[in-house]
Structure 1
Amino acid sequence: MSKRHSVKHKIDRRMGENIWGRPKSPVNKREYGPGQHGQRRKGKLSDFGVQLRAKQKLKGYYGNISEKQFQKVYTEASRMKGDTSENLIGLLERRLDAIVYRAKFVPTVFAARQFVSHGHVKVNGKRVTIGSYRCRPGDVIEVRERSKQMVLVLEAAQSGERDVPDYIDADHGKMTATFARIPSFSEVPYPVQMEPNLVVEFYSR
């Protein structure tokens, strides 16, 4: 098992939920944490513990973003007008790797980050290699011509595991996607319940 997959599965088991909704997640068979003490009965979480888990789950969903980077996104969201939790989700969904994943160009958000960093993606005709690159409404994301026939890309586009959300207009024939608009929290198709309001409470302590 690759390090990338082992990390992904470890996050699932630590959270006790199939965060990405993948059929091969170990949580589908073992609904307890990893390690020799994983099956011990869990005590009730404190308010801090609940908030921490909500943060870890949301951070993990977007490819296990580093704490420093995630906190930076939160700080920016808190300075924007409007609801901080909605702003936070909007900023996370504007990440290039998140859009590549949502558009079904790759099977996982981890693969999306690697796909971008290896130079397979263009934004408005220019190659971008930074997964955290922030897209704007109207931006056109496309798979580079020489990358369109990669098995990874073709299999992801044909997969029935998930659908492309309404705020992304994807054309799998041309392997292009337009980021139509910044979504609200309720529009984002998370496989499990996310609680950005608890993330805001965690950082507001």
Structure 2
Amino acid sequence: MSRAITTEGQVIDVFTAAGLPKPDISILSDQFLAEVRGLKHKNVAAELLEKLLKDELKVRSKRNLVQSQVFSEKLKKTLNAYHNRAIATQEVIEELIKLAKDLDSATKAGKEMGLTDDEKAFYDALAANDSAKTAMGDVKLKIIAAELITQVKKSVTIDWTLRESARAKIKVMVKRILNKHGYPPDLQEEAVKTVLAQAELLCAEWV
């Protein structure tokens, strides 16, 4: 899907084939989106946007577990509808453009909240459950996210994910922090699992 095949059988990057530079999703301009909308072959426009989003989500899957999962599911749902002909090509283009802008907004939201990328990843892990987000509020979740990063960084070792005792110790610590800040008890088990999974993504940079 990320390549277009010419009649000679040569493989050409779809962005080059469309006469467009490959954009950075963080600086996705209205001009670029207008050019995509204006492409003669609408299926190529859809392919461009699909590649852009898949590439970006692949990068984010190594940094922010919840965000990448949420947007990957939205992308999958949109593409399934398109491939099953439930929506037309022009409609899928608009849906993918909206998804790209929403993804960019999700990144900017962390900066507007004063969070680092790592803190935003843990914030998203804690806020994955809407009930928890409503009960706790942004301020408390930001405080918990910052404390989790500080404490988990102090506790992780290179092989902590392989040693059951080390993993259990961090699990207890995470639960203690959630309890201290009043995170809903009935939602803690799932939150702990998500926080540990998020920690696994980032711990290689911490040890």
TM-score, length-normalised on structure 2?
A: 0.28
More strand by share: 1
Higher relative contact order (CA 8 A, sep 6+): 1
Higher helix content, 1 or 2 = 2
How high is the TM-score relative to the length of structure 1?
0.28
| Greater Rg over alpha carbons, structure | 2
